[in-house]
Structure 1
Amino acid sequence: MSLPRIGVVIVTMGNRPRELDALIASVDRQDAAPARVVLVGSANPLTDVAYDVTKIPLKDNPGCPGARNVGLRTLCASGDVDVVVELDDDGLLVADDVFRTVQELYAADPALGIVSFRIADEQGRTQRRHVPRLRSDDPMRRGLVTAFLGGGHALSVPMLDEIGLWPAEFFFGHEESDLAWRCLDAGWKILYEPGLVLQHPKTSPARHATHYRFTARNRVWLARRRLPFPLVPVYLGVWTVLTLARIRSLSGLRAWGGGFAEGVRTACGPRKPMKWRTVWRMTRLGRPPLI
């Protein structure tokens, strides 16, 4: 059985040099060496990075999905890789067999599109929001899912060739949902594999100043782009109720309301709603595209 070739994409803004050095060192320690590692500098010249990797400095910050697309295009066009592993620059691969395990998973199942790693802090604990299932507090439960974690994951290059890359216009937030829904709609699988661990500091998404605005705008865009028309108001209604129940600050609520309005009135990109059979498939996997 031939094993797929692994490529790696890491995006950095240059504000985590110590963490980035540790991450690249953990990539170098893997017992299955990647064919190529691409480091994308988002508004970062990468002049302080001494590692022997492919460096692509960008003058501006195109957002997380836009910067990742730069790395993906480089690897997909090279013909050198079959699977791309994307890693947050403040993450760490704590085991040395991560890439070999990824290779074995893809070699065993040609329909595998995305593999989601488990995100754990320095004590090995996984936050509830990092478990890609509803009503599940068990981060060690392996299986097929409808979502994946942006901090650490693997993407099939043939899948990307078929469905396209990240939605760069999202800039930050819910780009994983857009890619996951396209993956499932094209018949590919998403596997959550808790044995693949990316160590990552415990964080809150609200640490980003634009979190509430982008969250609201991108949810509206996601619904407009990917859902059948009858499900759009249901999806947005459910998330409006949940948001009103969760937000604790008036400033956050105002930012969320502004983002929601922006999502309604601005262009969301090409509309290609998922098939009803994909809706049913996601429902059978435990997460209909409503929550």
Structure 2
Amino acid sequence: MFHPRVDVVVLSMNDRPNEEAAAQTTLLAQSGVDVRVVVVVGNGCRPEVVPPGALTVCLPENIGIPGGRNAGADALRDADDPADWLFFLDNDATFPCSGVLAQLVAEAQGHPEAAYVQPRLTGPDDVTTPRRWVPRLRASRPDRPGTITTMTEGVVLVRREAFDAVGGWPAEFFLYHEGLQLAWQCWAAGWSGWYAAGIRMHHPLTSPTRHALFHRLAARNRIWVAYRNLPAPLVPLYLAVWTAITLARAVRTGGLSETLRGMREGWTSRHAQTRRPMSWRRVWRLTAAGRPPVI
């Protein structure tokens, strides 16, 4: 029986061996698809948890999450006969049942306009979905499927055709908002995204602020995303809305000095970014999909 082939990229820094083993065990248990796996190490060490037959890419230094994912996708493309589908898996995310990947591919095949398909990400309880994990507005209803204009990067199925056409993940982001950048690249190229809310995956209920770099890089990269993608009249509008919200959060929850540092870094380095503003038609498509690119 023919099964669709899926190439899977898993990043590792040998920092959570138990979680990695669980993630890989549930990955290898997937049925109805042919899976090929690559493990990418970002800190110069050889991975210690590697599934049988996996390709291994050992990077000489930590080049960040999007750069590591690109290295994995490149290795799979260059190895032999790349699959039509790429799945990017956080090394502490797990599949709750054996049919998840096959269901995601079926959803993608049912939505040929979608460059990427996002499952619903929940905690290990299979119920709790933090608002930041819902890739659309109206996040209070994480069970509602539909077209989306961003993504939750750590568990997402992407068409290889679209991924290669837009140049993959933005490696220079290092961490944070690379999913928004990739999503907007796909939309600018004429694709869309789909949220398959009925398909679940599990992830520990962690906070992004646990990373020391969060406030600075999140602020810097948000400015880069706006400068890279938006028509000139929308850049100040988008940044004004985002800045007001971000500063209010920083004052309330902490990280204000690092947020301001990231804003300054993003603004002063914006001209080093490649600017490819989307057309006004794409702006309208994003707006019609429920996410005008000023929010």
Tell me the TM-score range normalised by the shorter chain.
over 0.9
Q: Which residue of 1 aligns with 2:29?
A: 29
Q: Which residue of 2 aligns with 1:68?
A: 69
Specify every segment of 5 or more residues in structure 2 that has no aligned partner in the other structure, as ranges.
none
Aligned to 1:20: 20
- 1:114 is paired with a residue whose SS is strand
Which amino acid is the alignment partner of residue 103 of structure 2?
T
- Structure 1 position 287 matched with structure 2 position 291: yes
Residue aligning to 2:38: 38
Is 1:9 aligned to residue 9 of structure 2?
A: yes
Residues 203 and 272 of structure 1: is their aligned pair in 2 closer, same or farther, counting only changes over 3 Å? same
Q: Deviations over 1:118-176 (max 9, x none)?
A: 11111221111111121330111011111111120001011012211100000011111
Distance in 2 (CA, whole Å) between partners of 1:7 and 1:104 is 15
Retained in 1: the 8 A contact 2:218–2:262?
yes
Q: CA–CA distance in 1 between the matches of 2:108 and 2:133?
A: 23
**Equivalent position of 1:232 in the other structure:** 235
Return the match for 1:114 from 103, 113, 116: 116
Q: 1:47 to 1:5 in 2, by over 3 A?
A: closer
* 1:195 aligned residue (186, 193, 198): 198
- Tell me the secondary structure at the aligned position of residue 294 of structure 2: coil
User: Aligned partners of 2:3 and 2:50: how far apart in 1?
Assistant: 30
Q: Could you tell me how far apart the structure 1 residues matched to 2:150 and 2:47 are?
A: 35
- Give runs of aligned pairs for residues 241-256 of structure 1, distance below 5 A: 241-248=244-251, 252-256=255-259
Map of 1:123 onto structure 2: 125
Give, in angstroms, the shift of residue 49 of structure 1: 2.2
How far 1:47 moved relative to its partner?
Answer: 4.6
SS at match of 1:14: coil
Instruction: Provide TM-score, normalisation by structure 2.
Output: 0.94
- Residues 188 and 3 from structure 1, CA distance in 2 versus in 1: closer, same or farther, beyond 3 angstroms? farther
Do the aligned partners of 1:14 and 1:44 also contact (CA within 8 Å) in 2? no
Opposite residue 17 of structure 1, the aligned amino acid is: P
Counterparts of 1:103 and 1:3, CA distance in 2: 10
Shift of 1:42: 1.2
Match for residue 281 of structure 2 among 277, 281, 291: 277
Structure 2 distance, partners of 1:268, 1:21, is 39
Q: C-alpha distance in 1, partners of 2:104/2:137?
A: 25
The correspondence for 1:101, drawn from 103, 109, 132, is 103
Aligned length: 291
Q: Distance in 1 between matches of 2:27 and 2:44?
A: 21
CA–CA separation in structure 2 for the residues paired with 1:32 and 1:259: 44
1:284 Cα deviation from its structure 2 partner = 0.9
- Letter of the aligned partner of 1:166 in structure 2? W
Q: Distance in 1 between matches of 2:47 and 2:132?
A: 35
* 83-92 or 45-54: bigger deviation: 45-54
**Which of the residues 167, 170, 190 maps onto 2:170?**
167
Q: Which amino acid aligns with 2:278?
A: M
Distance 1:50 1:109, change over 3 A: closer
Q: Could you say which residue in structure 1 is the equivalent of 2:87?
A: 85
Match in the other structure for 2:181: 178
**2: CA distance, partners of 1:250 / 1:24:** 35
Name the SS of the counterpart of 1:11 in structure 2: strand
- Per the normalisation by structure 1, the TM-score is 0.95
Give 1:258's aligned residue. 261
Shift of residue 50 of structure 1? 4.6
Looking at structure 1, the residues matched to 47 and 131 of structure 2 have their Cα atoms a distance apart, in angstroms, of 37
